[in-house]
Structures are given as structure tokens and as C-alpha cells.
């Protein structure tokens, strides 16, 4: 990577001549292409930072990738040489090599994880899209990634549905919308009739004890609710390496509870519930068994971690869920540590803020949901209007483009926001071609392709010649791509890549507006076409790492 080479050149020279390893990074605008501080070096030599920076900058001559160095406010600012830009363009032509940072390391990512019996609504999409981006980024960085979908069906919500099917008639339930209607209706009745709670507890006990009637109803709920979920996954381009149903973990969960009791980690409280004492670790105590002996999410999460490590021997396991579960996962991880699980430090939880709609927070129990299928249909229709406003494509082509734009725009709207922040979803806003949206990036790809198609066979770029300010800015941005991807992968922060791609598209727009390509003088044409091709490849690869396709036309 040319940028890493340039940074290493500076580090080697400064360390050799001045005895310290500089922290080279991107400076504030107007202070060169790269910069590093001299404050610690100045303190070690009892000199002022300004004088230290002056001394170091004067010695940075004869470098391949830099034409000059300047001192300012205790920093050394560096300016790339023509050789840097020429070498960068040659590197883009060859394409970016995948990183080996995670070579031979194993990662399990637990994401999406919808509850069986509940429809997949917009509120569930964030875990699904974030987890997929994490998997793509880490795979690019050389990790061996297992994409895991943990489907919860042994909990209270399914027990409530079991009661609902008994109350309203199982044969009347045919679709996920019927299940949603049952859930909303039974939730209201639970508030009015406490006796139904006893029925739900009984259904849970019978489920964990293998009652055939309950299991028959459970399988019907599973069949009805998962068919549309998988259809939505296909539309989103989401895949998993494994599906795990939490109901199969009940026996292992009970074994772990007994182990915790024997080790003195868990005890029965005055209500008859089995609790892991975590107050000494500044965490709430952790209930792992109800008074009637049935398991909870907490118990099954302990069993899941054990089974995953036995099967996958992971170096890291990442759970992607709403921030509302932050405390829950701290309790799970601490309990596993107290149980002596060596893999406990390898567990990580990435929490995210909730998604809402303009009408307010989503609530399945209250029936205030926007089904993912309905949201995507609305986004596709909105995107189709945008597409048709620009060109009158045949229906089939317009539909395909609109689907790619809507799916890409939805994913980008999720990934551009840092995980901890909430998101308000509006199809009309996220599918706009203008502004910082996924559609804007897709349109930038189409514009690049259009120029290259008109150019036909590309002339060979030869090193030499000057780069103007717009060419330099675009070239520098392109050179930063591998570094940004590696940072986004290491920190599991895909918004870094989103921000980079938007900045790249902005730089490309400025280049396009100020630097004629097809009508450029022959001395500049090959160079500019090479920049267009490099921009296209970088945008396509960056979008692919986010799980976003770019249409052929828009």
C-alpha cells in the first residue's frame, strides 16, 4: 500500500536521524498531506517544540515520496511528491490486495437473531445489516468468519403465542400477519387477565419437558414466521453459515445451572429463583432459572457460548444486539468468567441504538410496527419514482434498478450512523440521489462507468507530469482506502468506511467538474482515465464491503 510505504519512509528516516518514532497521521486541512508532532522529542532534548520541528523538517530531504517538509506550531508537515502520485496510480491499476491482519484467526458473529413468532420489522434490520458488514470487513482482513443466526423460541413471547393459538384457534393462523395479530390481542388480554400468565408459564414448562402438543404448535409458529424472514434475508443479500434455535439448548442450560450452584456461584433466592451473585462486581444479580425450574434467555446464552466455543474454537465472538441488552451481556460474560471459561475474554458485545419511524418508537405488543417487507416495498417505490424522473426505463429494468437503490440506500442509512446512536427511518429521505446517501454513491459508480464506456480502450498511463490540485486530492483519497478499511474492520466501525466513500465521491465530483477527461489533452487523458478507473474500483469494492450493489444504470 503506497500510503503505508510513504509513512514508513518517514518513520525510518526520523528514527534513524533523530532517534524517535513519529506518530504520522492526517493533518488539519492546509497543513500538508501528512504530519507528525515533535513535542515529546522537544521535551527529551529540552528544546521548544517549534525549534525541534524546524530541525527535523530541515533534515527531511531526498525522500522518494515527499517533495518537501515544513515546520508549523511544533508539527512537521509533509507534502507528497509527483513520484507518490505516479506510484499510487500504478497501485490502483493492480487493484487492492486483501489484508492478512486476521490470518488464521476465527470469528463468530451473532447477528439478526429475530424472535420466532414475531415478524421481521424495521427495528430488527440494524443487527442484520451491521452483522453482515462486520462479517464482510473481517473476511476482507483475512479472518475465518462464521455468520450465526440465533433464533429465540423458548421465551415468554412464544409461550404467549402458544396461549393465543389455544385461545383463538391454531387453524386460523396462516401468515406472519396473523401471528402478529394474535400477539397483539393476547398481550392486551394478559393485562386484563392475570390467569393467562399461569397458562404461559405452563406452556413454557411443557415446552421444556418435550410436550408433543406444544411442540407441534411451536413448529407451526416457526414455519409461518421464518418463511417471510428468510425471504427478506434473500432480498437483502444476507446469508448465514448456521441457524441455532435456543430451544435445543435447554438441557445444556440446566447442566450449567447445576455447575454454577456446585461452584458456589449461584444460589436460590427467597422467591425460589436461581441467581448468580454479581453485586460484588458492580452488576445486578443474574437470574438463571425461574422458580418453576424453567430456563431464561440468560441460561440459554450461557449454554450457547459453551457450545459455540466447543464447535468453533473462536478467537473472538461478537454479539450484535440493541444497547438495551448491554447489561445482560456484561452479566453473561462475567458469569462465564466466574465459571472458569477460558474463552470469556474473547466475547464482545456491540450494542446499537434503536430504530424508530416518524410516528415514534416501534412496539410489537402494541401493534405499532413497520414490517420490513412493507418498508422495503415503500423504499423501492420511492426509488422507482427517482429513477423514472431521470429516464423512462422499461418496467423490468426500472424495477431492478429501484430494488438495488432501495436496498443499498437502506443499508447505507443504517451503516453510516455510529452504532450507539438511534435512527429514524423514512423511505423518501434515504433513497434521495442528492446529498450523502447510498443512492448518491451508487450514482457516482454509474457516472464513472459511463466515462469509461465512452472512452473504450484505455490508454496506458505512464509516470511523469504534474498533478493539479483536484487530481492530487482524489489520488490522496484513493490511497487512503486500504487504511480506512483496516481500521473499520479492526474496530468494527463500518461508518468509517461510509464516511470515506462519501468523501471520495465528493472529491470525484470536484475532479469531474474541474478536470475534463475525454476531451483532455493527450498528456492528461491517460492519467485522468486512470483516476476514473481507480475511483470506480474503490467505490465498488467499498460498497461491496458494506453489502451494497451498484446498478449498471440509474
* Residue from 306, 308, 287 nearest 296 by CA: 287
- Cα gap 213→519, rounded to integer Å: 75
* Tens-digit pLDDT profile for residues 399-414: 999 999 999 999 999 9
Q: What is the DSSP letter of 114?
A: P
Residue 422: name the closest of 476, 326, 351 by CA: 351
Q: How many whole angstroms separate alpha carbon 178 and alpha carbon 172?
A: 8
For the beta carbon of residue 392, count every other beta carbon within 10 angstroms: 8
pTM as predicted: 0.90
Give the separation between CA 309 and CA 252, rounded to whole angstroms. 14
3-class state of residue 357 by DSSP = strand
Reference 247, options 164, 162, 321, 304; nearest CA is 304
Per-residue confidence band for 363, with pLDDT thresholds at 50, 70 and 90: low
Q: How far apart are the first and last CA of the chain?
A: 33
Within the chain, which residue ranges are assigned CATH 3.40.50.620? 111-247+299-361
Q: What percent of the chain has pLDDT over 70?
A: 96
Q: Interhelix angle for 469-479 vs 481-491, to 10°?
A: 40
The pLDDT of residue 494: 97
CA nearest to 434, candidates 497, 380, 505, 378: 505
Look at residue 299 in the predicted model and tell me its pLDDT.
Answer: 96
Secondary element (H or E) of residue 424: strand 423-424
The alpha helices in 316-371, defined as continuous H runs, are 326-338
DSSP state of 103: T
Per-residue pLDDT, averaged over 296-300, amounts to: 94
Burial status of residue 26 (CB atoms within 10 A of its CB: 0-12, 13-18, 19 or more): middle
Gap between the Cα atoms of 182 and 415, Å rounded: 33
Query: Pairing relation of β-strands 242-245 and 144-151?
Result: parallel
Cβ neighbours around 61 below 10 Å, total: 11
d(CA 468, CA 249): 63
The answer to whether residues 440 and 434 touch, using CB atoms and an 8 Å cutoff, is: yes
Q: How far is CA 387 from CA 229, 405, 420, 444, 540, in A?
A: 28, 9, 33, 14, 20
Q: Which grid cell sits at 418?
A: 455510529
- How far apart are the C-alpha atoms of 335 and 338, rounded to whole Å? 5
According to CATH, where is 1.10.730.10 located in the chain? 372-545
Question: What CATH number has the domain spanning 2-80?
Answer: 3.30.1360.70
Closest CA to 425 of 437, 440, 434: 437
Name the nearest CA neighbour of 367 among 186, 489, 106: 186
SS3 content of the chain, % helix, strand, coil (to 5): 60, 15, 30
CATH superfamily, domain at 372-545: Isoleucyl-tRNA Synthetase; Domain 1 (1.10.730.10)
Residues of the chain with CATH 3.30.1360.70: 2-80
β-strand partners of 25: 35
- Where residue 141 falls among pLDDT bands split at 50, 70, 90? very high
Per the prediction, the chain carries an average pLDDT of 90
Highest mean pLDDT among 23-32, 492-501, 516-525: 492-501
State the Rg of the chain over Cα.
28
Which range, of 39-43, 389-393, 423-427, averages the lowest pLDDT?
423-427
Say what the pLDDT of residue 359 is: 61
Q: Which class would CATH give 111-247+299-361? A: alpha beta
Amino acid at each position: 500500500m503506497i500510503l503505508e510505504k510513504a509513512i514508513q519512509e518517514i518513520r525510518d528516516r526520523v528514527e534513524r536521524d533523530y532517534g524517535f518514532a513519529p506518530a504520522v497521521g492526517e493533518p488539519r486541512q492546509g497543513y500538508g498531506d501528512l504530519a507528525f508532532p515533535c513535542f515529546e522529542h522537544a521535551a527529551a532534548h529540552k528544546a521548544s517544540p517549534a525549534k525541534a520541528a524546524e530541525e527535523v523538517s530541515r533534515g527531511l530531504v531526498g525522500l522518494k515520496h515527499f517533495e518537501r517538509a515544513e515546520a508549523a506550531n511544533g508539527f512537521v508537515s509533509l507534502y507528497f511528491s509527483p513520484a507518490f502520485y505516479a506510484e499510487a496510480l500504478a497501485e490502483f491499476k493492480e487493484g487492492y490486495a486483501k489484508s492478512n491482519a486476521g490470518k488464521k484467526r476465527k470469528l463468530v458473529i451473532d447477528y439478526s437473531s429475530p424472535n420466532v413468532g414475531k415478524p421481521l420489522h424495521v427495528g430488527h434490520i440494524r443487527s442484520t445489516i451491521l452483522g453482515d458488514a462486520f462479517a464482510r470487513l473481517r473476511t476482507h482482513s483475512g479472518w475465518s468468519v462464521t455468520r450465526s443466526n440465533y433464533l429465540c423460541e423458548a421465551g415468554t413471547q412464544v409461550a404467549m403465542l402458544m396461549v393465543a393459538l389455544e385461545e383463538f384457534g391454531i387453524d386460523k393462523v396462516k401468515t406472519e400477519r396473523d401471528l402478529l395479530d394474535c400477539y397483539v390481542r393476547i398481550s392486551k388480554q394478559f393485562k386484563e387477565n392475570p390467569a393467562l400468565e399461569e397458562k404461559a408459564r405452563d406452556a413454557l414448562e411443557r415446552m421444556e419437558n418435550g410436550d408433543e402438543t406444544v411442540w407441534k404448535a411451536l413448529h407451526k409458529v416457526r414455519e409461518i414466521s421464518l418463511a417471510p424472514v428468510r425471504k427478506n434475508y434473500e432480498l437483502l443479500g444476507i446469508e448465514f453459515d448456521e441457524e441455532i434455535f435456543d430451544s435445543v439448548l435447554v438441557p445444556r442450560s440446566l447442566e450449567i445451572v447445576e455447575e454454577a450452584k456446585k461452584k458456589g456461584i449461584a444460589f436460590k433466592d427467597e422467591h425460589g429463583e436461581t441467581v448468580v451473585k454479581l453485586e460484588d462486581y458492580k452488576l445486578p444479580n443474574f437470574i438463571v432459572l425461574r422458580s418453576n425450574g424453567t430456563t431464561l434467555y440468560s441460561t440459554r446464552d450461557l449454554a450457547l457460548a459453551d457450545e459455540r466455543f466447543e464447535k468453533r474454537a473462536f478467537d473472538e465472538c461478537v454479539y450484535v444486539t440493541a444497547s438495551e441488552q448491554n447489561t445482560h451481556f456484561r452479566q453473561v460474560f462475567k458469569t462465564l468468567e466466574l465459571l472458569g471459561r477460558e474463552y470469556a475474554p474473547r466475547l464482545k458485545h456491540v450494542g446499537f441504538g434503536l430504530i424508530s419511524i416518524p410516528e415514534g418508537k416501534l412496539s410489537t405488543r402494541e401493534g405499532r410496527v413497520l414490517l420490513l417487507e412493507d418498508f422495503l416495498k415503500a423504499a423501492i417505490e420511492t426509488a422507482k419514482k427517482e429513477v423514472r424522473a431521470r429516464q423512462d426505463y422499461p418496467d423490468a429494468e426500472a424495477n431492478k434498478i429501484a430494488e438495488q437503490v432501495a436496498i443499498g440506500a437502506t443499508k447505507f442509512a443504517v451503516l453510516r450512523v455510529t452504532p450507539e446512536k438511534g435512527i429514524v427511518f423514512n423511505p423518501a429521505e434515504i433513497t434521495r440521489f442528492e446529498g450523502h446517501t447510498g443512492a448518491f454513491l451508487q450514482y457516482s459508480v454509474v457516472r464513472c462507468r459511463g466515462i469509461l464506456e465512452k472512452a473504450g480502450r484505455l490508454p496506458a498511463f505512464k509516470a511523469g507530469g504534474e498533478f493539479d490540485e483536484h487530481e492530487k486530492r482524489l489520488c490522496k483519497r484513493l490511497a487512503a482506502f486500504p487504511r480506512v478499511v483496516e481500521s473499520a474492520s479492526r474496530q468494527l466501525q463500518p461508518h468509517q468506511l461510509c464516511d470515506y466513500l462519501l468523501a471520495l465521491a465528493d472529491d470525484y465530483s470536484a475532479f469531474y467538474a474541474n478536470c475534463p477527461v475525454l476531451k483532455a489533452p493527450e498528456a492528461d487523458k491517460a492519467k485522468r482515465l486512470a483516476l476514473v478507473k481507480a475511483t470506480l474500483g474503490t467505490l465498488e469494492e467499498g460498497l461491496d464491503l458494506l453489502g451494497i450493489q451498484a446498478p449498471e444504470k440509474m
